[in-house]
Each structure stands twice: as C-alpha cells, then as structure tokens.
Structure 1
Amino acid sequence: MNIEALPTTEPTDGKTRLILAGEQLFAENGINGASMREIATKAGQGNHAAVQYHFGSREGLVRAIFDFRMEQMEAKRGAMLERARAMGRLKDARTILDIILLPQLELHDADGNHSYASFLSQYLLQSRSPEFGDFSGSEPPHLTEALRLMRERVDYLPPYVAQRRLISISLMFLNILMRHHGTDEAAFGESFPDALEDTMEQIVGSMCMPLRMAPALAGTN
C-alpha cells in the first residue's frame, strides 16, 4: 500500500497559490469561515479581490480546489485501474474502494498536513445531493470509472442509499487520515498502516452490506 506524499514544492503561479491557500483556510476555519481577503493575503496576493478575479466567488474557489486535487489523483487512479483490469479485479469491492480512496493519502499541503482531507470532510458533511458520486460537479474520467464500477458492485442498493453510504465511508476514511497519519504510534497503540487496513475492511463491509430494512418501512419511525 503506497502512502508516499506528492511533492509539496511551493507553487509559483498566483492562481495555484490561491487554491492551496483557500484549501488550508477552509480546512482550518470552515468553508464559510474564511474571507476572500484572508485567502488572498495568505496566498501573497496584493490584490485583495484576487479570488473573485480568478474564480468569481467562494463557490468557484471550492470547485477549483476539487478540480486541482482531482487532477492530481488522476494518474494514480488510472494506474490502479489498469492494474486491477490486468488482474481481473474490477468487480472486487476492496479493489474499487482502494482506487477511490487511497490516492488521497498522497495529498499534503505545504506544511505537510492533510488540509484537503479536512476540507473534503466539511464539504461532505454539508452535501445534500442524492446523486451517487457527486463531488461538486467534478468528473475526472478515472474517478468516474471507479465510481461507476462501485455503483455496479452495489446495484442492489437504491441510489440514495448508495450515495449515503459513499459519503459515510468517505468520512470514515478521512477521519482515520486526519486523526492517525503522522502521529506517534504510541499515542494510539497501533501503526497508521494497521489502522488504515482495519478501516478499509470496515469500509468494504459498510459499503457492501445488504439493505436489511424492508423498503416498505423506509422513512417510518
């Protein structure tokens, strides 16, 4: 299981600095808790309206963060898909969930923290979309393929159940990433790889378990 980080060299272009500054401040203060002026200042922009100039709005910046990070993970997901295809494992739930989730392990900010994980957690907690795999409209092809494979794997679930479970297992993964990764093993009594492996097995069970509630009873007390 590869958990090495992508390079964290300081970006040179102003637009990328705004994206990364926005990610960090949204992670620290909430998606609605950081001002556009604060983000511009953190990115070293003298123009305090730089966010509006490049992205139009707070929502535009949120979308840009998703697009930027999704693009970073595409090559990894593509390689994982090709490997799974060669091994005949494109219907294996653990393999598909590894492709969807594990590339996020490699995303660090300039300080070595997982600010994207915190940002994404906050976004998912606010999400009300019933559409399976809805991530702010971003549709990178390799992630889209992995999500399609996952939906086919759990085709016995109603769409709204599959989406609810996808959000739940994503939050499980992000929680273990933020809580354990980079900490002293003695603080938790287990290594991060061991904690991650156990969590991934939990995730497979949570995503794939049969729907035990009779449809006629759904939504009743």
Structure 2
Amino acid sequence: MTVRTAQTHTPAISPAPDGPKVALILAAEVIFARDGIEGASLREIAAQAGQRNHHAVQYHFGSRDSLVQAIFDYRMDQMESARGTMLAAANANNRLSDLRTIAEIIFRPQIELIDEFGDHSYAGFLTAYLLRYQTRRFGQFGERVAPNLARTLVLLRACIGTLPEIVAQRRLVTACFMFLNILVIHTRDSAAQGEPFEDAVQDTLGQIVAALAAPTQAT
C-alpha cells in the first residue's frame, strides 16, 4: 500500500533543524510511502532533503535498508513520551490488563505523526515496512524496540496469552494494518471520507480488540 498525494512531484523538504540525517529520514518517509521501499529513488530522496550530494543516503546511512530502519526507529522514539504518559495513566487507573487500553497505547500515538505536507506518510511507510520485515516472533519488527513500546507489547501479550506465538504475531500485524489503513484513508481531507476521523478511530480500535481477543478456530 502506498500513499498517493495530489502532487506529481513531491515538494522539497525544508531543512531539518537536527541536520541532514533527519532531513533524509523525513524525505525518505514521504517518498517510500509514495513509491514503495524498493521503488523509491535514493537520488530523489537526497534531492528532496536538500542534499546536493546524490549519494547522501549512502554517505549517512550506508544502504537503503539502513535508511528504512532509521525511519522506523526515529518515529518509534518520537512516540515514546506519549506512550509513557499513557502507561502511567493506565497504571494509576488499574487498566494495564485491559486490552482496549493497551491497544490505545500502541496505536493512538501514531495519529500525531504528520509529515510536512499534512499527510500520514508514516502510515504508508509502516505498511510497507511491516510487509517487508515482519517476523514470526511476537512484537519483533526491527533490531530494537523502544522501551515504552516494549513494555506495552509485553502487556498486550499477557492480554492474549492463550494464543500461540505465531498467531499472536499475525494478529498484531493485522491489527497494525487495520489502524494504518484508517490513517491512510484520512490523509489530507478526513471530511471527504463521510465520517468524523475520531469515529473511524474508535470503530477501528473496537475491531482491533475484537480481532485480537477472538478465539482460535479448532482444527
């Protein structure tokens, strides 16, 4: 799944205050979402990030795969503070074993990840990332997992503890696709979708909880 925007060519990313590596990460997220991880041009990413060196991606990250992982890690780190706050609130309210609460902690912080053009490009990027990098081990999506996300995934695993590992991971990935699809659909103009964005989020979270908690089918 890719995110398509109205522009034929993506406008250049404004220089990032944190330097060229962050500028490349943000530009790559948009272009990977638009063109796919394999289809995106590394030269175009460099140009959109304001880099004169056509090989800036290779210089700063070494490879396409390393850049992809850098985007994932950058965005996961951005969501850590929100997840920490939500975890503390859930703990204070004795909700750490409530599946809906844990699903909210996993998915809601993604809503705030808006790119420079007002789109949820991260949703398109992460969809492609999960299709490419998912494993059979529950909660494993890369080389490392940010601490608050790791804690939340442990709590989620406890909520669905009767499921076999491979089934639990498959359901988690499916749940991710369900939520990311809402973000992709509501990119730019949520009013055009015919329902308030929050209504779509609430309904999708309900579907996710039902899917995660559903009993396995007898063989």
- TM-score normalised to structure 2 length: 0.90
- Contact conserved, 1:71 with 1:140, CA < 8 A, in 2? yes
- Provide the aligned length of Structure 1 versus Structure 2: 206
**Of 68, 75, 86, the match for 1:80:** 86
Counterparts of 2:190 and 2:66, CA distance in 1: 37
Tell whether 2:68 aligns with 1:67.
no
Give the counterpart letter for 1:80 in structure 2.
M
- Contact conserved, 1:181 with 1:192, CA < 8 A, in 2? no
Q: Return closer, same or farther for 1:184/1:38 CA change in 2, 3 Å cut-off.
A: closer
- TM-score normalised to structure 1 length: 0.89
Percent identity of equivalent pairs: 52
- Contact conserved, 1:173 with 1:200, CA < 8 A, in 2? yes
For 2:97, the equivalent position in structure 1 comes to 91
Counterparts of 2:69 and 2:134, CA distance in 1: 16
For 2:166, the equivalent position in structure 1 comes to 160
Tell whether 2:213 aligns with 1:205.
no
Q: CA deviation at 1:9?
A: 8.1
For 2:4, the equivalent position in structure 1 comes to none
**Of 6, 24, 27, the match for 1:21:** 27
The 5-angstrom pairing of residues 1-221 of structure 1 reads 11-12=16-17, 13-185=19-191, 187-211=192-216, 213-214=217-218, 217=219
Q: Return closer, same or farther for 1:80/1:22 CA change in 2, 3 Å cut-off.
A: same
Q: CA deviation at 1:176?
A: 0.8
Counterparts of 1:75 and 1:126, CA distance in 2: 27
Q: Return closer, same or farther for 1:181/1:28 CA change in 2, 3 Å cut-off.
A: closer
Give 4+ residue runs of structure 1 displaced > 6 Å after superposition.
Answer: none
Question: Structure 2 regions of 5+ residues with no counterpart?
Answer: 1-12
Counterparts of 1:56 and 1:79, CA distance in 2: 35
- Contact conserved, 2:86 with 2:105, CA < 8 A, in 1? yes
Counterparts of 1:113 and 1:184, CA distance in 2: 11
Counterparts of 2:59 and 2:136, CA distance in 1: 32
Give deviations 1:155-186, integer Å, cap 9, x for gaps. 1000000000001011000001111254253x
Question: Structure 1 regions of 5+ residues with no counterpart?
Answer: 1-7
